[in-house]
């Protein structure tokens, strides 16, 4: 296990639940990419509501079974490692938003 501490970078990727890369959901393809490249970790969060540049509101209403809910993927690692993956991530995304910000990692280790 690779241990990270101190100043790192948080990359957030905002996409839709229905976005695809080849035959897979895009969020699963991205998680697979990050895992294959040995990044410290990633989390997929499903939003209850949101809208993008088209201003169409996507919600998790009870009667809406086809709502394209927002998905946020959060990845923390070194800036250099994340920057090196941006061209590949960009190639996989047809739309969405990527943000990157410096964060302070206080603790990252496997629980025994």
Q: Which domains does the chain have, with CATH numbers?
A: 6-105 (3.30.70.120)
Angle between helices 26-36 and 79-92 (to 10 degrees): 140
Question: How far apart are the C-alpha atoms of 49 and 59, rounded to whole Å?
Answer: 4
Q: Which of 10-14, 36-40, 65-69, 79-83 has the lowest mean pLDDT?
A: 65-69
The pTM score is 0.83
pLDDT of amino acid 57 = 66
Q: Reduce the DSSP state of residue 82 to 3 states and report it.
A: helix
pLDDT of amino acid 111 = 57
């Amino acid at each position: 296990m690779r241990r990270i501490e101190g100043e790192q970078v948080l990359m957030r990727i905002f996409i839709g639940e229905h976005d695809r890369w080849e035959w897979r959901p895009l969020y699963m393809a991205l998680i697979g990419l990050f895992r294959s490249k040995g990044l410290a970790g990633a989390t997929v969060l499903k939003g209850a509501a949101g809208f993008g540049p088209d201003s169409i509101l996507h919600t998790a209403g009870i009667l809406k079974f086809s709502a394209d809910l927002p998905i946020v993927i959060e990845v923390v690692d070194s800036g250099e490692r994340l920057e090196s993956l941006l061209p590949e991530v960009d190639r996989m995304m047809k739309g969405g938003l990527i943000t990157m910000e410096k964060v302070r990692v206080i603790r990252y280790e496997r629980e025994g």
